[in-house]
Amino acid sequence: MNVSFGRLARHRLAIALSAAALMAGVSSASAQSVIKWLHLETNAERLGTWQEIAAAYEAEHPDVKIEFQFLENEAFKAKLPTLLQSNEAPSMFYTWAGGVLKAQMQTGAIRDITAAMDADGGAWRNSINPAAVAAMTFEDKVWAAPIQSGVVSFFYNKELFEQAGVDGTAIATWDDFLGAVQKLKDAGITPIAGGGGDKWPLHFYWSYLAMRELGHDGFEAAKNGEGFTGEGFVAASQKLIDLGAMQPFQEGYLGATWPDAMATFADGRAAIVLGFENTATPTIQRGAATDGEGLVQDNIGRFPFPVVEGAPGLITDDFGGINGWVVTTNAPPETEDFLKFFTNAENSAKIAERNAILPTTIGAEVGVKDPSMAEAAAQKAQATWHQNYLDQDLGPNVGRVVNDMSAELAAGQISPEDALQQIQDAFSLEM
């Protein structure tokens, strides 16, 4: 009995080992390179487009698998540095141009993609807008594949403006804007949807006001060593305090996230939002609104951030971002090839049309069909100066202070001088 059992066991073990060896052979023959794609996209339609493009690449490259990984925006920023140093590092992830990308470069956790950009006579490099490539370049090396650019503007609910007797097309100066805010309040309408909990939505206000107060030359001088405590920055900071003192934002805005602010605007619970170029598009509206529908597009107006009378900043000086995808040091070698495929003119045009972005790939602008996006593209085409988001341009450490101080200024919790000194102190440490 025991002998029989032993023989049976050995027989079964032999079969199992043979099967294992066979499976190992199959596994080895079909081994795949896995590209781990870390993103922070919450919009299902946009993510669906990416997945479609990834599937098309996988079909052409059966030895490659693309694995999607998600982190919420704030969690992404908080966890990424640790994640990059771990065994769970992604192959590629979303990045912003400027100081954030430079800091990521300095960690040694990402690799430059210059060789891939310049292969085949520079085919990939030459397919991308040169300014976008330049924004991703440090030390003559390209550190990210550009995918989109943008511009921040004011969007407004035309019906609510009409109720309050406000003409959105006539808002050209900061005083005009404050007058509109007061008229909305007098009509019992919440003027502005704010995302103070995330803080960075409020840095849009401080950044634009500083740009308007100082103009291009003054602002560049500050970044190049003159610092952030001068009269123009004091005036900009005071204007944000004065706006906050009008209590223009929805109740609880200091704890609200950007999605909360977008929902407030999309639901018609506030008349204005200072947001990205795709804020008014149907895709974003549906995703943000409580009812899944949002405002009809004909009810959404748009105007650039107004000028400050007597200050050198121009209405054509705009503010926004350039975004792209970074490749990590230990990513599979196919990652660059996939990004070249992802950013080609056909796929970039598809993303532009379906997902409301301003593409950086040359020729992909044919995909910009949405009227709101077309307006943003027209504004960018007229830009006399494009300033990257300050919480990205100045690097993560200084950017964090800029965001914090913007929120505190809007809430009236700090003086201009104290806020600016904190920004300057952080900036000095990076010099």
Euclidean distance between CA atoms 92 and 343, whole angstroms:
14
Match 């599979």 to its residue by tokens: 332
Residues of the domain holding 125: 30-149+322-378
Question: How many whole angstroms from its chain centre is CA 311?
Answer: 29
Note whether residue 24 is domain-resident: no
Give the pLDDT confidence score for residue 76 in this predicted structure.
82
How many domains is the chain partitioned into structurally?
2
CATH number of the domain where residue 49 is located: 3.40.190.10
Whether the CB-CB separation of 35 and 331 falls below 8 Å is answered with yes
Euclidean distance between CA atoms 399 and 427, whole angstroms:
9
Note whether residue 86 is domain-resident: yes
Instruction: Judge if 173 and 101 occupy the same domain.
Output: no
Joined tokens for residue 366: 């044919």
Give the pLDDT confidence score for residue 99 in this predicted structure.
84
Instruction: Judge if 289 and 359 occupy the same domain.
Output: no
Instruction: Judge if 280 and 417 occupy the same domain.
Output: yes
Could you give the dihedral angle defined by the CA atoms of residues 101, 102, 107 and 110, in that order, rounded to the nearest 10 degrees? 50
Secondary structure (DSSP) of 94-135 = EEETTHHHHHHHHTT-B---HHHHHHHHHHHHHTB-HHHHHH
Give the pLDDT confidence score for residue 317 in this predicted structure.
94
Instruction: Judge if 160 and 145 occupy the same domain.
Output: no
> SS3 for 314?
coil
Question: How many whole angstroms from its chain centre is CA 417?
Answer: 29
Give the pLDDT confidence score for residue 185 in this predicted structure.
98
Euclidean distance between CA atoms 80 and 96, whole angstroms:
13
Instruction: Judge if 418 and 292 occupy the same domain.
Output: yes
Note whether residue 191 is domain-resident: yes
Give the pLDDT confidence score for residue 137 in this predicted structure.
92
Instruction: Judge if 199 and 296 occupy the same domain.
Output: yes
Instruction: Judge if 274 and 419 occupy the same domain.
Output: yes
- Residues in Cβ contact with 53 at an 8 Å cutoff, skipping those fewer than 6 apart: 341, 342, 347, 350, 351
Beta bridge partners of 68: 37
Euclidean distance between CA atoms 373 and 401, whole angstroms:
31
Secondary structure (DSSP) of 48-59 = HHHHHHHHHHHH
pTM score: 0.77
Pick from 368, 397, 391, 374: nearest CA to 320: 391
> SS3 for 358?
strand
Instruction: Judge if 363 and 286 occupy the same domain.
Output: no
Mean pLDDT (10-residue bins), the chain, 431 residues: 38 41 40 88 89 97 95 82 86 90 91 97 95 90 94 97 98 98 98 97 98 96 95 98 98 96 97 93 86 93 96 95 94 97 97 90 91 85 87 90 98 98 95 72
Instruction: Judge if 175 and 85 occupy the same domain.
Output: no
Give the pLDDT confidence score for residue 356 in this predicted structure.
82
Instruction: Judge if 158 and 122 occupy the same domain.
Output: no
Instruction: Judge if 312 and 327 occupy the same domain.
Output: no
Instruction: Output the CA–CA distances (angstroms, integers) from residue 186 to 83, 243, 387, 412, 417, in the order listed.
Output: 49, 15, 35, 22, 32
Instruction: Output the CA–CA distances (angstroms, integers) from residue 374 to 215, 301, 358, in the order listed.
Output: 26, 13, 9
Instruction: Judge if 177 and 199 occupy the same domain.
Output: yes
